Amino acid sequence: MLEAPVVVAAALFYLGLLFAVAWWGDRRADQGKSIIANPTIYALSMAVYCTTWTFYGSVGRAAVSGIGFLPVYLGPTLVMALGWFVLLKMIRIVKANRITSIADFISSRYGKSHLLGGLVTIIAVVGIIPYIALQLKAMSGTVSLLLSYPEIVMPSRSATMSVAADMSFYIALILAAFTIVFGTRHLDATERHEGMVAAIALESGVKLVAFLAVGVFVTYGLYDGFGDIFEHLATHPELRHLMTAIPSGQGYTGWFSLILLSGLAVLFLPRQFQVAVVENVNEAHLKRAAWLFPLYLLLINIFVLPIALGGLLHFSGQGVDADTFVLTLPMSQRHEGLALLVFIGGLSAGTGMVIVETIALSTMVCNDLVMPLLLRHKRQSLDESKDLSGVLLGIRRGAIVGILLLGYLYFRLAGEAYALVAIGLISFSAVAQFAPAMIGGMYWRGGTRGGALAGLSAGFLIWGYTLLLPSFAKSGWLPAAFLTQGIFGIDLLRPQQLFGLTGLDEISHCLFWSLLANIGAYVGVSLLRPPMVAEATQATVFVDALKDTGKLGAVLWRGRAKVSDLQELVGRFLGPARAQSAFAAYARRQGRGKLVTLEADAQLVQFAESLLAGAIGSASARVMVASVAKEEPLSIDEVMHILDEASQLRTYSRELERKSRELTAATLELQEANERLQELDRVKDDIMSSVTHELRTPLTSIRAFSELLRDDPKMHLADRERFLGLIVSEAERLSRLINQTLDLAKIESGRADWNGCELDLKEVVEQSLAATSQLFREKDAHVDLDLPDNLPLILADRDRLIQVMLNLLSNAAKFLVQGAGRVSVKLRVLADALEVSVSDNGPGIRPEDQELIFEKFRQVGDTMTAKPAGTGLGLPISRRIVEHFGGRLWVESVPGEGATFRFTLPFADAQVEEAAVA
């Protein structure tokens, strides 16, 4: 099933599937139902990092240098740990300023400079071209391998063929067409491609599955597990070096440079910037991706070494290129299905990279290279055209074709001399040159346009001299003497031993010199002069991106512009309909139905500029907006003043927020305190009125009886005695009431005297019973006692406790029916307390009254008919006494069946312990 038509059909079917997914993704995005708003999809899209380099090249690398293939995956792992900070900041900056590419990012940071944007674009394009060549080499190599099946024939050198007969040329064209359809169907102000991301995520899944399938096949099909492969190795001493010295051929320095290099690449490769920053849907996705993406890298690398060793052992001495082991191993075993799966996996890895990379590059070429040139030289015709969106798309499509053809050219010129990984590393070293300007730009306010230009140029030149030109020399397109004797025969300028530096591999060598020159020039030139207006403004926007600087751009614009001019301008690049709807949406957001004003405010100008920036880059957008608005330039002093003011304002507003929060809290507390006071006041009034009422009742009786006695001197002796008896008992009641009121007041105010000592509760209960026995005898009641001996002691005031018991017992006696009363008094030992219960068989208490009776002056029962028999203070006082000693007093009752009052008091030792703890 590996005949040419099947292979081609499978490839086309797969590309069609990708296209369908992308189309679906775009459609869902238009409906607002994004399918990529998911951290896992985001992490998978980041895995576009794994290209055919990983899919085929890692095995080739491993076959030469053992685990030397790994550092390029360890670097990204480490960087993702910092991604939470660096990527988050990049995402914020990009979203706030509608930045669409690295070139735009750097140009925007250093004062929206056309020159800088162009330079970055050139570096990116030149730097990435070898990387694209790598994909072409891998893909065309695998196609020709498959087509020679069942033989395994290494692909012949393309350089010897005519272009028309070279398959890689057609693959490049197909890829260009595919990318154009994918990425440039329409122009979007934000340059986001949801469908593309969905397809990339799918491709990442496919390539992982395909690679794991081969891995399992080789490890467990051809051999008997990891151990078995390594055991076989013992019989091949010439391969032992792969297993021990890690850095065979590169040293620990080389190992470290690859980690650093890949860490920078994963941030600054145009395609990584595209998927991780520009296409990010929600910055919260970064969290999950921070570990999912490294996990993906780990998984796709587990079987690399087994496949490499398996291939070396299997094809020993047959001249099979290790870069093809992933495909040739299944082919040699006649596993046609697996071979086809591998081919599709490799296709995924290659197309994914090419699509995203060329889209990202084409955006750069259009916005930062071609547009500025057009603006400068063809301004006249640009100004005449009403709708330029078609022109923009045309430029991008042209750029895509151009980039792929350049990739093909490099492949023809230099591709054959290098293994896949070596080609990729050349590109990595190129994009690493963006690091100083990018990182410096995000964290250092002092970086200037001049510094960035100098740094980038220096780094790029040294990269070209120490890596790119040698790659041509090694392929024979430049004289070999260039390598061995240096340019013009100057020994010190040998490109790979620059200034006589030896002992480093070519990547470390290039990285050291280029980054040294880059950082040195960037910092050095930046320090020559203070930042200018535009640089200082943008520095603040970028460095303070994580703070709230949303309106800064608007603050720093002063001038006059007409709304209609702005809308027409945006319409020329985005199409009039899109501009119309964008402006309408803006008006809605501002809470206005329509933009009726003729004069645009600074914020609207800022909005229009950022819309344009998405389509033509921030530098060009600046120029275009300036052309329709009458702007008043601000001096550097003014700008610095405004920036200072803005940051001071931010500090003030934070301070203000804090103060207002505190104030709210204080107000709330005050309110509560006030309510408490009012409540207390009300309670006091209640008590006063209750007390006076309670006092008046006995006083009235005393007065009435006294008047009767005074007014009727002839009253019978028996009546006289009865009245005098009533007067005495009412007076007693009165004094009892006064005493209890004073008592309660003392307890409540905390001024009561408590004489706490260890007591035997049983003794107290018995003493109280003795004092009240007369009451029960009068009612002819039966008293049951259940008072065990040897109880633990409790801590309380004896007299107070007797007061409680007397109160409960007299209450019980009060409600007994004459002659049929039963009272039972029980003492029980609980876990950490004693419980006393006093039960009677009186009328009981209704459930709704069971808490009321513990309130002051509340006597329940039918107060209309029955004269209250107590003061209404006994139970509240008792409860307070019990609670004072750490116990509880409550009542249980079923109306009609009597009531049981219970109270608990904790053991003396428990209380002591508690006191000790406190």
Partner 1 sequence: MQRRILAGDRLIAAFLVGCVLFNYPVLSLFDRNSEVFEIPLIYAYVFVAWAFVIALMAWAVERRVR
**Cβ closer to partner 1: 74 or 795?**
74
Question: Cβ closer to partner 1: 215 or 874?
Answer: 215
CA atoms of 626 and 617, how far apart (whole Å) = 14
Residue in the structure block whose two tokens are 């005519």: 162
Shortest Å distance, C-beta 80 to partner 1: 7
Angle at CA 766, nearest 5°, toward 765 and 771? 100
Q: Quick one: which H or E segment has residue 782?
A: strand 782-786
Map residue 366 onto helix, strand or coil.
helix
Toward partner 1, which CB reaches closer, 86 or 417? 86
CB of 81 to partner 1, least distance (A): 4
Give the tokens for residue 482.
């260039």
Q: Closest separation between CB of residue 517 and partner 1, Å?
A: 25
Dihedral (C-alpha) 766, 768, 771, 775: value to the nearest 10 degrees? -100
Which one, 546 or 912, has the nearer CB to partner 1? 546
Minimum CB separation from partner 1 for residue 839, in Å? 49
CB of 244 to partner 1, least distance (A): 5
Q: Which two tokens stand for residue 610?
A: 């950022």
Closest separation between CB of residue 751 and partner 1, Å? 45
Report how far apart, in Å, the C-alpha atoms of 40 and of each of 284, 292, 428 are.
12, 7, 26
* Residue 42 to residue 716: CA distance in whole angstroms: 109
Smaller CB separation from partner 1, 290 or 570? 290
The residue among 71 and 270 lying less far from partner 1, judged by its C-beta, is: 71
Compute the least distance from the CB of residue 632 to partner 1, in Å. 40
Q: Would you say 174 or 302 has its CB closer to partner 1? A: 302
Closer of 232 and 828 to partner 1 (Cβ): 232
Could you identify the residue written with the tokens 């490099």? 410
CB 253 to partner 1: min, Å: 8
Tell me the C-alpha distance between 683 and 681, whole Å.
5
Residue 223 or 513 having the CB closest to partner 1: 223
Q: Which is nearer to partner 1, 65 or 871 (CB)?
A: 65
Write the DSSP string, 697-761. Answer: HHHHHHHHHHHHHHH-TT--HHHHHHHHHHHHHHHHHHHHHHHHHHHHHHHHHT-----EEEE-H
C-beta of 85: minimal distance to partner 1 in Å?
7
| C-beta of residue 537 within 8 angstroms of C-beta of residue 552 | yes
Q: Which of 220, 291 has the CB closer to partner 1?
A: 291
CA–CA distances in Å: residue 238 to residues 63, 243, 245, 780: 12, 11, 13, 115
Exposure on the CB side of residue 820, measured as CA atoms within 13 A: 6
733-739: which pairs have CB atoms within 8 A and are 24 or more residues apart? 733/698, 733/871, 734/695, 734/698, 734/699, 734/702, 736/871, 737/694, 737/695, 737/698, 737/871, 737/873, 738/695
What is the H or E stretch that residue 905 is in?
strand 899-906
Shortest Å distance, C-beta 505 to partner 1: 15
- What is the sign of the dihedral through the CA atoms of 554, 560, 566 and 567? positive
Instruction: Give min distance, CB of 79 to partner 1, in A.
Output: 8
| CB closer to partner 1 out of 78 and 413 | 78
Query: How many helices (H) and strands (E) are present in the chain, helices listed first?
Result: 37, 9
Q: CB 71 → partner 1: shortest distance, Å?
A: 8
Residue 568 to residue 167: CA distance in whole angstroms: 47
CB of 84 to partner 1, least distance (A): 5
Whether the bond into 150 is cis, omega within 30 of 0: yes
Query: How many beta carbons lie within 10 A of that of residue 824, not counting itself?
Result: 17
Question: Contact positions toward partner 1, by CB under 8 A?
Answer: 66-67, 70-71, 74, 77-78, 80-82, 84-85, 226-227, 230-231, 243-246, 252, 255-256, 259, 287-288, 290-291, 294-295, 298, 302, 305
In whole angstroms, the minimum distance from the beta carbon of 49 to partner 1 comes to 15
- Between helix 167-183 and helix 114-147 the angle, nearest 10°, is 130
Output 24 or 84, the one with its CB closest to partner 1: 84
The least CB distance from residue 285 to partner 1, in Å, is 11
Contact 118, 451 (CB under 8 A): no
Strand pairing category for 888-893 and 630-631: unpaired
How far apart, in whole angstroms, are the C-alpha atoms of residue 73 and residue 300?
A: 10
Q: Are β-strands 559-560 and 794-797 bridged in parallel, bridged antiparallel, or unpaired?
A: unpaired
On the CB side of 492, how many CA atoms lie within 13 Å of its CA? 1
Q: Which is nearer to partner 1, 255 or 723 (CB)?
A: 255
Q: Which is nearer to partner 1, 167 or 243 (CB)?
A: 243
Side chain identity, residue 273: F
Find the shortest distance in angstroms from Cβ 76 to partner 1. 11
Query: How far apart are alpha carbons 369 and 124 in whole angstroms?
Result: 12
Least distance between partner 1 and beta carbon 255 (Å): 7
Nearest to 463, CA basis, from 432, 492, 490: 432
Between 287 and 560, CB nearer to partner 1: 287
Residue whose CB is less far from partner 1, 43 or 171: 43
Q: How many Å apart are CA 644 and CA 629, to the nearest integer?
A: 26
| 81 versus 728: smaller Cβ distance to partner 1 | 81
- In degrees, rounded to 5, the angle at the alpha carbon of residue 251 between the alpha carbons of residues 245 and 255 is 100
How many other C-beta atoms can be found within 10 angstroms of the C-beta atom of residue 177?
Answer: 14
Q: How many CA atoms lie within 13 A of 134 on its CB side?
A: 31
Q: In angstroms, what is the minimal distance from the CB of 83 to partner 1?
A: 8
Task: Give residue 350's identity as a one-letter amino acid code.
Answer: G
